[in-house]
């Protein structure tokens, strides 16, 4: 079992974390973001315009400015329908984003048909960027909107729990997709528990 | 450890063929069936050898009936159109019915009819969990109250591993082979995980395959492993809609881990997590 040292908490990143504080996207990105927001209701983070347009997925400013600042249990408040450039092309940019006013303003995205039904979201914009994203119309059941607003989104722990120290006896994983991460770990735990029991 | 008769109890090895367990001995057995490792754990394995044997026999029966790697299996014959579903074994109809129900619930994301290159009907995404649910019913019917079943990382638990404890189920960390990303606790729970740890696609998303890379893994917990497993498979192909869709399924909760290292939990999931 390897151990992640405290100085090695974050996984290697493909680029440097964006230093902007969470929850804000610069105004120049609103048009692009609105387009993608109307594509589908998702739960992912906000991304910068260049990331959205390039389809990049390497990282996000949610990770914070430095690795040491990450609280793995932190919940962020923006559990919201968000962005993908999937089904709606950039040919119909919402005009509301052209002149964002200084006061908070709610902008409705266009309703988009997805394989699961119609999706429509709204943005609340204040002087510095997107303040909130809400689902107006979603394809799932009635409880969906209420529940989804309370989805929490911590960051994956990098100082990952070591299974044995956490007294875990079972591992759930997608073994048939891989070389058997989980069953390998399970067998290691079984062996460890067996050897612990043997001297009894 | 001493038994109540003052006789030292023998250590029961975790894997392989141990000596007969004494009362109170934990017993773990593993066999490779259905292309995966099936692990049975009993908190008290005393007098359960016949049950364990019956459960493994059940999984072999399922494999013989459902395997698409066996051209002569009933499922293969149904898939090729040689045997009508209505003429097949009731278990086959039951599994297909479950698959159709998930197909509807998932808006087509869980699709047993159109996801193989050869177009064959393939209920593999549900049959493993379904067979574990049945095995669990066998365990309960025999009077075993405290046990876990693990079929290739899809898990069903009942009761306690030790008196007063809940089962602790680690969720495989998608980036670190020897670590877990979260710990789920439960005394009566199914836990299934679908993932793409190595970027090797196994789920063909009928709608949006290109977006599947957005997720590293999806874990679903709930009462039935058949549905937890199928929901995890379906949600994994939904990319960014995964958590929302799981949240919309009554009695099931989920953990979605994204390629950007976010861990998205449905509202009710937090109650199952060891923090």
DSSP per position, A95-128: GGGSS--SS-EEEEPPPEEETTEEEEEEEEEETT
- Listed by number, the residues of chain B in 25-54 with a beta carbon closer than 8 Å to a beta carbon of chain A are 26, 28, 30, 35-37, 39, 41
Residue A119 main-chain phi, psi, to 5 deg: -130, 135
pTM over 0.90: no
Total tally of structural domains belonging to chain B: 1
- Closest CB to B196: pick one of A155, A160, A177: A177
Residues in chain A: 200
Residue B86 pLDDT exceeds 80: yes
Q: Where is A129: in which H helix or E strand?
A: strand A129-137
Instruction: Tell me which of A2, A173, A180 to substitute to probe the interface with B (most B C-beta atoms closer than 10 Å).
Output: A173
pLDDT of B166 strictly over 50: yes
Domain that holds residue B266: 2-272
Give the ipTM of the model, two decimals please.
Answer: 0.79
Using the Cβ of B9 and the Cβ atoms of chain A, whether some distance falls under 8 Å is answered with yes
| Chain-chain contact of A176 with B243 (C-beta, under 8 angstroms) | no
Residues B54-74 have a mean pLDDT of: 94
- CATH code at position B74: 3.10.520.10
Task: Give the confidence band of A134 by pLDDT, cuts at 50, 70, 90.
Answer: low
A contact test, residue of B43, B156, B176 with most A CBs within 10 A: B176
CA distance A7 to chain B (A): 16
pLDDT in tens, B177-221: 777 888 999 999 999 999 876 543 344 444 443 344 478 899 999
Q: pLDDT for B208-267, tens place per residue? A: 433 444 788 999 999 999 999 999 999 988 877 888 889 989 999 999 988 777 788 998
In chain A, residues with a C-beta closer than 8 Å to the C-beta of B248 are 140-141, 143-144, 147
Q: Are strands A170-172 and B167-172 parallel, antiparallel or unpaired?
A: parallel
pLDDT at site B151 = 92
Reduce the DSSP state of residue B52 to 3 states and report it. Answer: helix
Across A150-154, A163-167, B13-17, B57-61, the highest mean pLDDT is recorded for: B57-61
Rounded to an integer, the average pLDDT of B121-129 is 86
Q: What is the pLDDT of residue A151?
A: 57
A43·B267 Cβ contact <8 A: no
Task: Kindly list the residues from chain B whose CB atom is less than 8 angstroms away from the CB atom of residue A200.
Answer: 1, 9, 11
Compute the nearest-CA separation of A95 from chain B (Å).
26
Using a CB-CB cut-off of 8 Å, the residues of chain B touching A148 are 243-244, 247
Query: Taking a C-beta distance cutoff of 8 angstroms, is the pair B232, B219 a contact?
Result: yes
């Amino acid at each position: 079992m390897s151990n992640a040292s405290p100085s090695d908490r974050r996984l290697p990143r493909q680029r440097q974390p964006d230093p902007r504080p969470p929850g804000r996207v610069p105004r120049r990105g609103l048009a692009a973001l609105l387009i993608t927001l109307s594509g589908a209701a998702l739960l992912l983070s906000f991304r910068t315009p260049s990331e959205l347009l390039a389809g990049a997925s390497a990282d996000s400013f949610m990770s914070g400015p430095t690795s040491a600042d990450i609280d793995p249990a932190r919940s962020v408040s923006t559990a919201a329908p968000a962005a993908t450039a999937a089904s709606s092309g950039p040919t119909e940019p919402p005009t509301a984003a052209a002149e964002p006013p200084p006061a908070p303003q709610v902008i409705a995205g266009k309703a988009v048909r997805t394989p699961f039904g119609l999706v429509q979201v709204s943005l609340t914009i204040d002087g510095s960027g997107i303040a909130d994203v809400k689902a107006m119309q979603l394809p799932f059941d009635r409880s969906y909107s209420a529940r989804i607003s309370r989805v929490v989104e911590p960051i994956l722990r990098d100082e990952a729990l070591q299974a044995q120290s956490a007294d875990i006896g079972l591992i759930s994983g997608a073994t048939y997709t891989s070389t058997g991460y989980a069953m390998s770990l399970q067998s290691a735990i079984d062996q460890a528990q067996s050897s612990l029991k043997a001297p009894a | 450890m001493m038994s109540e008769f003052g006789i030292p109890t023998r250590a029961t090895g975790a894997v392989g063929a141990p000596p007969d367990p004494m009362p109170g001995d934990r017993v773990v057995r593993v066999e490779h069936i259905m292309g995966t490792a099936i692990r049975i754990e009993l908190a008290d394995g005393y007098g359960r050898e016949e049950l364990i044997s019956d459960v493994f026999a059940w999984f072999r029966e399922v494999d013989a009936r459902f395997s698409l790697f066996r051209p002569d299996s009933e499922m293969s014959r149904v898939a090729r159109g040689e045997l009508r579903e209505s003429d097949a074994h009731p278990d086959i109809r039951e599994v297909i019915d479950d698959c159709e129900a998930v197909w509807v619930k998932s808006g087509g994301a869980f699709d047993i009819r159109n996801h193989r290159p050869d177009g064959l009907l393939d209920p593999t995404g549900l049959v493993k969990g379904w067979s574990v649910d049945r095995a669990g019913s066998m365990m309960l019917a025999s009077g075993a109250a405290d046990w876990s079943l693990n079929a290739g990382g899809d898990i069903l638990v009942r009761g306690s591993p030790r008196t007063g404890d809940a089962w602790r189920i680690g969720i495989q960390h998608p980036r670190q082979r020897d670590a877990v990303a979260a710990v789920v606790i439960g005394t009566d729970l199914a836990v299934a995980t679908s993932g793409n740890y190595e970027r090797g696609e196994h789920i063909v998303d009928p709608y949006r395959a290109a977006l599947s890379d957005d997720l590293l893994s999806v874990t679903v917990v709930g009462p039935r492993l058949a549905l937890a497993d199928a929901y995890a498979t379906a949600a994994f192909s939904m990319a960014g809609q995964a958590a929302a869709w799981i949240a919309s399924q009554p009695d099931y909760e989920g953990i979605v881990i994204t390629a950007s290292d976010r861990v998205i939990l449905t509202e009710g999931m937090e109650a199952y997590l060891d923090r």
